[in-house]
């Protein structure tokens, strides 16, 4: 059980969550609360359930059992409004087969927002990619680190209420790692974004997190 | 052999002189095949997306049915459409028999399984991360559909061209539903069949050349798209 003692209002509350893949339980959380504007670290071995928990928090998959409350309301994957407040950066992000600018601005486009090119330039700058060099580049002209930063920019442009990061710096060079760490924290600074970060980088998590949760075999063991 | 060579020479003459009957068949073919491919894509692309994107009970048997329909004989489609459109048939009141929309209805049935099956395969072969990426960026289901089809655009275009190739070269539906009426529903393929039966090789060859050029253009486009798809 992981209760939140923060003074900020509760953003997430998970109750009796069980997730199963092919009949096998991969995640079991009795109770978890996450406060607004907090930074939560998530650690655990590969296959411990970190990505599953993040996908449930992102409302991309529904748990087999249990309830997820967001801002006090029981929410599910079919509710578009809640998915527009939360965004997940996976470990190996997918870029659409179009230009960098179109990738970054996609989330704004589906929301019908204006001034997308300027906003795309702002967030590219935030992740350390020179807008003039990158906006017109195609998705296949990027290195792994650049693609990861473009994917993060596509999330940051949304000014999300919650940013979920699934091992965002795995297999990246030092420069890309530094830029991603800085840009993620900037979201918290500028827009009070709640961050949930799954990572094996304990030193980083300990330096930024309000709380670190450990998953072992799909169960929260330490908070 | 001499008559074949002579047929070729006369065919070139018919095409270069703008022979009205020949060009009528070409124009009718282009009109009806355009209607058919548009109909097949409008109906087939969303169905292909649903078949490839979603999971539901009975999906596997449905895939088998769609794949079986890929080899639906054109004369059987012609027979079925004729039965529905004839004056005594359930759709007889619309007066579509021996009209271009009537032929198009049959050709849509011919092209539909190709578009559905190939679009479904294209969507199934897309990266597994696409859907969750779109949802995580805030796309609603309609936007997920459109963006997914856009991501699979080269494969969907390949499906369109494969369907067009089958539609433009079929003869059974055009003959049975269109009736091969001169100046009205006579297409390239039905004209070739008729003229060859009459021993008029030159017009048959002229129309055959046009049909081959259309097929060549479609194949050339498919090669280009295949390269882009990788």
The complex scores an ipTM of 0.91
In which band, very low, low, confident or very high, does the pLDDT at A131 lie, cut at 50, 70 and 90?
A: very high
B151 and A97: CB-CB below 8 Å?
A: yes
Return the SS3 of B137. coil
**CA torsion angle A39 A94 B129 A43 (round to 10):** -30
A:B CB pairs within 8 Å: 48
Residue B178 has a pLDDT of 96
Hey, what CATH class is A10-222 in?
alpha beta
Q: Is the pLDDT of residue A1 over 60?
A: no
Residue B101 has a pLDDT of 97
User: What is the nearest CA distance from A87 to chain B, expressed in angstroms?
Assistant: 5
In which band, very low, low, confident or very high, does the pLDDT at B229 lie, cut at 50, 70 and 90?
A: low
In which band, very low, low, confident or very high, does the pLDDT at A223 lie, cut at 50, 70 and 90?
A: low
Tokens matching residue A136? 């017109």
Question: How is chain A split into domains, by residue range?
Answer: 10-222
Q: CA separation (Å) from B90 to A217, B82, B94?
A: 63, 11, 9
Instruction: List, in order, residues 6 or more apart from B193 with CB less than 8 Å away.
Output: B171, B175, B180
Using a CB-CB cut-off of 8 Å, the residues of chain B touching A55 are 132
Average pLDDT on B56-72 reads: 93
Using a CB-CB cut-off of 8 Å, the residues of chain A touching B127 are 94
User: Using CA atoms, how far apart are residues A53 and A12, in angstroms rounded to an integer?
Assistant: 12
Average pLDDT on A109-127 reads: 93
Residue B15 has a pLDDT of 85
Q: Is A190 exposed, middle or buried (0-12, 13-18, 19+ CB in 10 A)?
A: exposed
Residue B11 has a pLDDT of 82
Residue B192 has a pLDDT of 93
User: What is the nearest CA distance from B170 to chain A, expressed in angstroms?
Assistant: 35
Among B130, B133, B151, the residue to mutate for chain A (most A Cβ within 10 A): B133
**Model confidence pLDDT, tens digit, residues B2-61:** 777 887 888 888 888 888 998 999 999 999 999 999 999 999 999 999 999 888 999 999
Q: Count other Cβ atoms within 10 Å, centred on residue B19.
A: 17
**Residue matched to tokens 């692309």:** B45
User: What is the nearest CA distance from A202 to chain B, expressed in angstroms?
Assistant: 26
B129 and A111: CB-CB below 8 Å?
A: no
Q: Count other Cβ atoms within 10 Å, centred on residue B227.
A: 9
Q: Is the pLDDT of residue B82 over 70?
A: yes
User: Using CA atoms, how far apart are residues A211 and A218, in angstroms rounded to an integer?
Assistant: 18
User: Using CA atoms, how far apart are residues A170 and A154, in angstroms rounded to an integer?
Assistant: 19
Report the sign of the C-alpha dihedral through residues B219, B225, B228, B230, in that order: negative
Residue B48 has a pLDDT of 95
Chain B contact residues (CB < 8 Å to A): 127, 129-130, 132-140, 143, 147, 151
Average pLDDT on A95-116 reads: 94
Nearest residue, CB atoms, A60 vs list B130, B132, B143: B132
DSSP E strands, A125-174? 162-166
Return the SS3 of A129. coil
Q: Is the pLDDT of residue A204 over 80?
A: yes
Return the SS3 of A75. strand
Tokens matching residue B195? 């003229």
Return the SS3 of A82. helix
Average pLDDT on B115-135 reads: 95
Q: Where are the alpha helices (DSSP H) in chain B?
A: 2-16, 20-53, 59-69, 74-85, 100-124, 129-136, 141-151, 153-169, 172-173, 188-197, 201-229
In which band, very low, low, confident or very high, does the pLDDT at A6 lie, cut at 50, 70 and 90?
A: low
How many residues does this entry show for chain A?
A: 223
Residue B220 has a pLDDT of 86
Helix (H) or strand (E) holding A161: none
Instruction: List, in order, residues 6 or more apart from A172 with CB less than 8 Å away.
Output: A144, A145, A148, A180
Q: Is the pLDDT of residue A7 over 80?
A: no
User: With an 8 Å Cβ cutoff, is A106 touching chain B?
Assistant: yes
User: Using CA atoms, how far apart are residues B45 and B59, in angstroms rounded to an integer?
Assistant: 17
In which band, very low, low, confident or very high, does the pLDDT at B203 lie, cut at 50, 70 and 90?
A: confident
Range B52-56 contact pairs with CB under 8 angstroms and sequence separation of 24 or more: B52/B119, B52/B120, B52/B121, B52/B122, B52/B123, B52/B124, B53/B123, B53/B131, B53/B145, B53/B148
User: What is the nearest CA distance from B143 to chain A, expressed in angstroms?
Assistant: 7
Is there a contact between A28 and A172 (Cβ–Cβ < 8 Å)?
no
Is there a contact between A183 and A152 (Cβ–Cβ < 8 Å)?
yes
Residue B99 DSSP one-character state: S
Residue A88 has a pLDDT of 97
Task: Name the residue with higher pLDDT: A172 or A36.
Answer: A36
**Model confidence pLDDT, tens digit, residues A161-198:** 999 999 998 878 898 899 999 999 999 999 999 999 99
**Residue matched to tokens 């970054």:** A104
Q: Is the pLDDT of residue B227 over 80?
A: no
Average pLDDT on B126-150 reads: 94
Nearest chain A Cα to B133, which residue? A94
B143 and A84: CB-CB below 8 Å?
A: no
Q: Angle A81-A84-A87 (CA atoms, 0-180°, nearest 5)?
A: 140
Among B136, B145, B148, B151, the residue to mutate for chain A (most A Cβ within 10 A): B136
Chain A, residues 71-90, CB within 8 A of chain B, namely: 80, 83-84, 86-88, 90
User: What is the nearest CA distance from B41 to chain A, expressed in angstroms?
Assistant: 22
Backbone φ and ψ of B70, nearest 5°: -60, -30
Tokens matching residue A126? 């935030």
In which band, very low, low, confident or very high, does the pLDDT at B219 lie, cut at 50, 70 and 90?
A: confident
Among B54, B125, B137, the residue to mutate for chain A (most A Cβ within 10 A): B137
DSSP E strands, chain A? 10-21, 24-35, 39-43, 65-70, 73-75, 86-89, 162-166, 194-198, 211-216, 219-222
Nearest residue, CB atoms, B133 vs list A80, A94, A111: A94
A154 and B140: CB-CB below 8 Å?
A: no
CATH fold of B2-229: MetI-like fold (1.10.3720)
Nearest residue, CB atoms, A96 vs list B140, B143, B151: B151
Report the sign of the C-alpha dihedral through residues A62, A63, A65, A70, in that order: negative
In which band, very low, low, confident or very high, does the pLDDT at A77 lie, cut at 50, 70 and 90?
A: confident
User: Using CA atoms, how far apart are residues B77 and B75, in angstroms rounded to an integer?
Assistant: 5
Residue B133 DSSP one-character state: H
């Amino acid at each position: 059980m992981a209760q939140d003692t923060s003074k900020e209002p509760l953003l997430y509350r998970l109750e009796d969550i069980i997730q199963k893949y092919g009949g096998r339980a991969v995640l079991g959380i009795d109770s978890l609360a996450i406060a607004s504007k907090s930074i939560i670290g998530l650690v655990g071995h590969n296959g411990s359930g970190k990505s599953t928990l993040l996908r449930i928090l992102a409302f991309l998959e529904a748990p087999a059992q249990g309830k997820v409350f967001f801002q006090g309301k029981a929410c599910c994957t079919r509710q578009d409004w809640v998915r527009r407040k939360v965004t997940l950066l996976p470990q190996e992000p997918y870029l659409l087969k179009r230009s960098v600018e179109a990738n970054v601005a996609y989330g704004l486009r589906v929301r019908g927002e204006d001034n997308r090119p300027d906003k795309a330039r702002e967030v590219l700058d935030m992740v350390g990619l020179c807008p003039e060099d990158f906006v017109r580049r195609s998705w296949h002209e990027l290195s792994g680190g650049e693609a990861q930063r473009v994917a993060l920019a596509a999330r940051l442009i949304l000014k999300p209420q919650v940013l979920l990061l699934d091992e965002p710096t795995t297999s990246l060079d030092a420069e890309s790692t530094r830029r991603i760490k800085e840009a993620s924290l900037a979201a918290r600074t500028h827009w009070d974004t709640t961050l949930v970060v799954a990572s094996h980088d304990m030193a980083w998590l300990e330096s930024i997190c309000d709380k670190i949760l450990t998953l072992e075999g799909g169960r929260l063991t330490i908070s | 052999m001499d008559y074949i060579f002579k047929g070729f020479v006369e065919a070139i003459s018919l095409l270069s002189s703008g022979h009205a009957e020949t060009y009528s068949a070409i124009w009718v073919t282009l009109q009806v095949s355009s209607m058919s491919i548009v109909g097949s894509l409008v109906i087939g692309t969303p169905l292909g997306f649903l078949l490839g994107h979603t999971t539901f009970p009975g999906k596997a048997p449905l895939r088998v049915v769609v794949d079986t329909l890929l080899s639906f004989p054109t004369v059987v489609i012609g027979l079925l459409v004729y039965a529905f459109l004839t004056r005594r048939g359930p759709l007889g009141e619309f007066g579509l028999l021996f009209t271009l929309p009537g032929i198009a209805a049959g050709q849509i049935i011919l092209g539909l399984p190709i578009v559905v099956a190939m679009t479904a395969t294209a969507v199934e072969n897309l990266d597994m991360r696409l859907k969750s990426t779109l949802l995580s960026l805030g796309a609603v289901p309609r936007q997920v559909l459109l963006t997914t089809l856009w991501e699979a655009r080269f494969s969907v275009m390949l499906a369109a061209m494969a369907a067009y190739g089958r539609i433009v070269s079929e003869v059974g539906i055009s003959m049975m539903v269109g009736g091969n009426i001169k100046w009205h529903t006579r297409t390239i393929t039905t004209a070739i069949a008729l003229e060859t039966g009459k021993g008029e090789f030159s017009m048959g060859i002229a129309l055959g050349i046009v049909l081959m050029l259309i097929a060549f253009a479609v194949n050339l486009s498919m090669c280009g798209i295949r390269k882009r798809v990788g």
